[in-house]
Structure 1
Amino acid sequence: MPIYRTTLGGEVFRFSNLAEVMAKATPARSGDALAGLIATSDVERVAAQMVLADLPLKTFLEELLVPYEEDEVTRLIFDTHDAAAFAPVSHMSVGQFRDWLLSDAATPTALKALAPGLMPEMAAAVSKIMRNRDLIAVARKITVVTAFRSTLGLEGRIGSRLQPNHPADDLKGIVASTLDGLSYAVGDAVIGINPATDNIPTAMTLISMLDDLRGRYDIPTQSCVLTHVTNSIEIINRGAPLDLVFQSVAGTEAANEGFGVTLSILKESHDAALSLNRGTMGQNVMYFETGQGSALSADAHHGIDQQTVEARAYAVCRAFDPLIVNTVVGFIGPEYLYDGKEIIRAGLEDVFCGKLLGLPMGCDVCYTNHAEADQNDMDVLMTLLANARAQFLIGVPGADDIMLNYQSLSFHDIAYLRNSLGLKAAPEFEAWLTAMGLVSETGHLLQSDLGAARLLEAAQ
């Protein structure tokens, strides 16, 4: 295995392997410090970034960060790599790849064609030598369109997940939050509930309630109860009206085992959901969540920095053609992303890497109450992500999830982004909102008495 080295300011810096180069080139974050992987100084970080910039992209095909024999995610990444798609950039170094991505040559068409040829580690590597504005500039050029009952990812639009969680899974409370969110034009990506009790009967009750509400008013969206994937398989077998299969995933086999999931289980669930044929505009039936630090928290990171492991999770997602994917960027806590600055950087990295790899990438713009962050930080991140053309963002009542006990975005925040930046909801959902009197013909939120009255009827 080669030793990587460079000289900076008269000092020689040596890195024992590619994983160390990647870790020490990463912008500082508390999780890597906790794992003992972080650069010891800003100078060492720049030295690592210099080494990384000069590495050929082909290096990642030759020096695997997690051994092929030990990890099914590595096997998935390596075995599905599309050499023909990779060919246009295969001669480039990481630094040259950065310059190409920022150039006019990297058109939306070229980026879409390139995605199957990129390994997640390549996307992670180039992100480490990019400024925040670079991540935004490239991500906004990438279009990833998916569909179930609504069509997501179209230019000039941003989707939203309506998250009406309740600490006791109370149906009236969930319906009230759902109606509130719909009145703010939230929910075109999914109406998704995190159940307080993760069991099959509760999930089936919640799924049936959401489907009844959606069907009664012919709302062109999809619902999801974020129960474990094995529960979803059983729920499908029992005949419940399930739209999307949900699962949290990570970037190593061991971390996924901690979630109780394997690639074969995910395939079984994907096939089961497709068999229902419930989509009208498309058949993207999977919803994945990820987050920097999940593999480290499970001691399943193989000595790799948390952002690179996060990018590897996107290979798992990509294999199952999902409707939506989101990083829950600040949810794991300040042990992994300490403050607003780290959360903002991580959110931009994740959406950039996910989109570059061809995923419909969104974000839960969030933080825990013991993090050094506040809603002003979230205002900044959500606005940056809207500029980066994230697929969707998540909204909860009052930006405060009273079941999961963390802070996210509010329904009002989604309305702000759309009204201020001229963005619209998915076209099918937009047409429904207009017919309900909730938005104007130009897509601006109205919250008219007529629309509110029609929604309130659903609570009866």
Structure 2
Amino acid sequence: MPRYAVNAGGERHVFSDLKTVMACASPLRSGDELAGLAADSELRRVAARMVLADLPLTVFLSEALVPYEEDEVTRLILDGHDVAAFAPVSHMTVGQFRDWLLSYAATSETLAALAPGLTPEMVAAVSKLMRNADLIAVAAKCRVVTAFRSTLGLPGRLGSRLQPNHPTDDPLGIAASTLDGLLFGIGDAVIGINPATDNVAACITLLSMLDEVRTRFDIPTQTCVLTHVTNSIQAIERGAPLDLVFQSIAGTEAANRGFGVSLSMLAEAQAAALSLQRGTVGTNVMYFETGQGSALSADAHHGLDQQTVEVRAYGVARPFSPLLVNTVVGFIGPEYLYDSKQIIRAGLEDHCCGKLLGVPMGVDVCYTNHAEADQDDMDVLMTLLGTAGVNFVIAVPGADDVMLNYQSLSYHDVLGLRHLLDLRPAPEFDAWLGRMGMLDSVGRLAPLAAGGLPITRLLGQGA
């Protein structure tokens, strides 16, 4: 009798291995169809979920989806598994685990204690049994707090990355976009630039400019140029004012090799950044970006469905105690997430799964212009994530990134979400907004006064 088999709808459904069960149980998405991994009918998808629900969580400790001998990410996950933390749920099946996560017993405190005992595969599996409302409810109970110059992930707070990209890395254009974002109260998570020219000299120029703005106005935030990790290491060696080390990561060794990165390289960069001791309220110095489909696009997914391999990327991030992790959920394109339904689902999955693993998850609520999605869809995902307690979101001028050519959220979108859900920026940044005269008597962002805000007056004196 096959180990992975079930009768459903009057049919016998057999699955060749655990990877196939996971792939067929995953909600439909174009990337899995492209890879030939998706269930060929809704009935087969339900059958796979029936099998998955009855599997013990421990199966993911004994059956590696990517071979231990071939993959340093698998070794990282299994060698770092905390048996004591896992003990409270070790007797459960995947289905029982889902029910427990939705129960009163799964509090913020118990989930935080459990996180080191969960593997990415366990978390990916349970998410496949959840509806969107389940993903929101579970994520809302997870709190992952990190800090550098500002403290992120606290209850009642919504962080934001200010993304002032420019197609030619023009410092004046970047400075204008940065000022625009600051006036909307954006940037408490990070002021982060995707450089158009990815070399060490350009990186140092942008880092120095951002640091000058930050120190001039004593802004309690961190800055980052999202360059390759090797450029960050060289910039540190040259004395650049670097706060955070950035790197795109994925869920397999082969996919990370495609990014030109290894676990040892990330450890070297973390040590270099920590040696600078630039943080004031914390020492989380790493910033990672991920996205469903990255491993498949590199043909480095080992036959895994794209959501499972995405959650393994959070397993890569976790040991490095990052300040920030975000999925660029719709950025890779409709080949992987075809339309708004798939993008919204993936955003909620990524956020919930990252949080369950103890990773400080944010989301770039975004889409490309050739996807079947629009800004109304991003409004929906943004609002759902705000309800789910997302650590931070990303905002660009007018929701249109003119350098990367994709659509995200605007500065006023994030401001509106904070008002709607009664959320505030990070406490240190919130206090700075007050000192700069940018809040009204009840703590809301204030309109420009007749004489201009202090920050605009200072900029008018020769910035």
Category of TM-score, reference length = shorter chain: over 0.9
Aligned pairs (5 A) from 1:342-361: 342-361=342-361
| Other-structure match for 1:400 | 400
TM-score (norm 1): 0.99
| Other-structure match for 2:85 | 85
| Other-structure match for 2:198 | 198
Partners of 2:29 and 2:243 lie apart in 1 by 37
CA-CA distance at 1:120 after TM superposition: 0.2
Note the alpha carbon deviations across 1:275-305, whole angstroms, 9 max, x for none.
0000000000000000000000000000000
Aligned pairs (5 A) from 1:411-426: 411-426=411-426
| Other-structure match for 2:277 | 277
SS at match of 1:382: helix
Taking structure 1 as reference, are residues 456 and 232 closer, same or farther at Cα in structure 2, changes over 3 Å only? farther
SS at match of 1:74: helix
Partners of 2:70 and 2:319 lie apart in 1 by 19
| Other-structure match for 1:454 | 455
Give yes or no for contact 1:221–1:429 (8 Å, CA) kept in 2: yes
Aligned length: 460
Give yes or no for contact 1:227–1:246 (8 Å, CA) kept in 2: yes
| Other-structure match for 1:165 | 165
CA-CA distance at 1:445 after TM superposition: 1.7
Partners of 1:116 and 1:2 lie apart in 2 by 32
SS at match of 2:247: strand
CA-CA distance at 1:452 after TM superposition: 3.8
Give yes or no for contact 2:2–2:14 (8 Å, CA) kept in 1: no
SS at match of 1:372: coil
Q: Does 1:301 align with 2:304?
A: no
Aligned pairs (5 A) from 1:133-148: 133-148=133-148
CA-CA distance at 1:457 after TM superposition: 2.6
Q: Does 1:63 align with 2:63?
A: yes
AA in 2 matched with 1:61 = L
CA-CA distance at 1:435 after TM superposition: 1.4
| Other-structure match for 1:383 | 383
AA in 1 matched with 2:231 = N
Give yes or no for contact 2:437–2:454 (8 Å, CA) kept in 1: no
| Other-structure match for 1:189 | 189
AA in 1 matched with 2:421 = L
AA in 2 matched with 1:115 = A
Partners of 1:287 and 1:347 lie apart in 2 by 18
Give yes or no for contact 1:314–1:357 (8 Å, CA) kept in 2: yes
Taking structure 1 as reference, are residues 441 and 104 closer, same or farther at Cα in structure 2, changes over 3 Å only? farther
Partners of 1:376 and 1:437 lie apart in 2 by 33
SS at match of 2:5: strand
SS at match of 1:319: helix
Give yes or no for contact 2:436–2:454 (8 Å, CA) kept in 1: no
Note the alpha carbon deviations across 1:415-439, whole angstroms, 9 max, x for none.
0011111000000000001111222
Give yes or no for contact 1:286–1:324 (8 Å, CA) kept in 2: yes
Give yes or no for contact 1:324–1:361 (8 Å, CA) kept in 2: yes
| Other-structure match for 2:26 | 26
CA-CA distance at 1:9 after TM superposition: 1.6
| Other-structure match for 1:427 | 427
CA-CA distance at 1:2 after TM superposition: 6.1
CA-CA distance at 1:319 after TM superposition: 1.1
Taking structure 1 as reference, are residues 253 and 456 closer, same or farther at Cα in structure 2, changes over 3 Å only? farther
Partners of 1:408 and 1:108 lie apart in 2 by 30
Note the alpha carbon deviations across 1:334-375, whole angstroms, 9 max, x for none.
000000000000000000000000011000000000000000
Q: Does 1:260 align with 2:260?
A: yes
Give yes or no for contact 1:156–1:423 (8 Å, CA) kept in 2: yes
CA-CA distance at 1:442 after TM superposition: 3.5
Taking structure 1 as reference, are residues 456 and 167 closer, same or farther at Cα in structure 2, changes over 3 Å only? farther
Partners of 1:21 and 1:398 lie apart in 2 by 42
The gaps in structure 2 that reach 5 residues or longer are none
CA-CA distance at 1:47 after TM superposition: 0.4
Note the alpha carbon deviations across 1:32-88, whole angstroms, 9 max, x for none.
000000000000000000100010000101111000000000000000000000000
Partners of 1:37 and 1:185 lie apart in 2 by 43
Give yes or no for contact 2:146–2:152 (8 Å, CA) kept in 1: yes
Partners of 2:159 and 2:181 lie apart in 1 by 13
Give yes or no for contact 1:368–1:405 (8 Å, CA) kept in 2: yes
Partners of 2:291 and 2:189 lie apart in 1 by 19
AA in 2 matched with 1:299 = D
| Other-structure match for 1:212 | 212
Give yes or no for contact 2:152–2:189 (8 Å, CA) kept in 1: yes
Give yes or no for contact 2:157–2:425 (8 Å, CA) kept in 1: yes
SS at match of 1:144: coil
Q: Does 1:239 align with 2:239?
A: yes
CA-CA distance at 1:444 after TM superposition: 1.6
Q: Identity across aligned pairs (percent)?
A: 72
Partners of 1:261 and 1:441 lie apart in 2 by 49
Partners of 1:77 and 1:221 lie apart in 2 by 31
Partners of 2:382 and 2:439 lie apart in 1 by 21
Partners of 2:154 and 2:424 lie apart in 1 by 10
CA-CA distance at 1:441 after TM superposition: 4.7
AA in 2 matched with 1:237 = E
Partners of 2:455 and 2:113 lie apart in 1 by 45
Give yes or no for contact 1:183–1:451 (8 Å, CA) kept in 2: no
CA-CA distance at 1:453 after TM superposition: 5.1
Taking structure 1 as reference, are residues 314 and 441 closer, same or farther at Cα in structure 2, changes over 3 Å only? farther
Partners of 2:228 and 2:211 lie apart in 1 by 19
AA in 2 matched with 1:4 = Y
| Other-structure match for 2:338 | 338
CA-CA distance at 1:455 after TM superposition: 3.0
SS at match of 2:373: coil
AA in 1 matched with 2:187 = G
RMSD after superposition: 1.1
Give yes or no for contact 1:179–1:456 (8 Å, CA) kept in 2: no
TM-score (norm 2): 0.98
AA in 2 matched with 1:89 = V
Note the alpha carbon deviations across 1:159-192, whole angstroms, 9 max, x for none.
0000000000000000000000000000000000
Aligned pairs (5 A) from 1:360-371: 360-371=360-371
SS at match of 1:344: helix
Stretches (4+) displaced over 3 A: 450-453
AA in 2 matched with 1:180 = D
Partners of 1:282 and 1:2 lie apart in 2 by 52
CA-CA distance at 1:458 after TM superposition: 2.9
AA in 1 matched with 2:408 = S
The gaps in structure 1 that reach 5 residues or longer are none
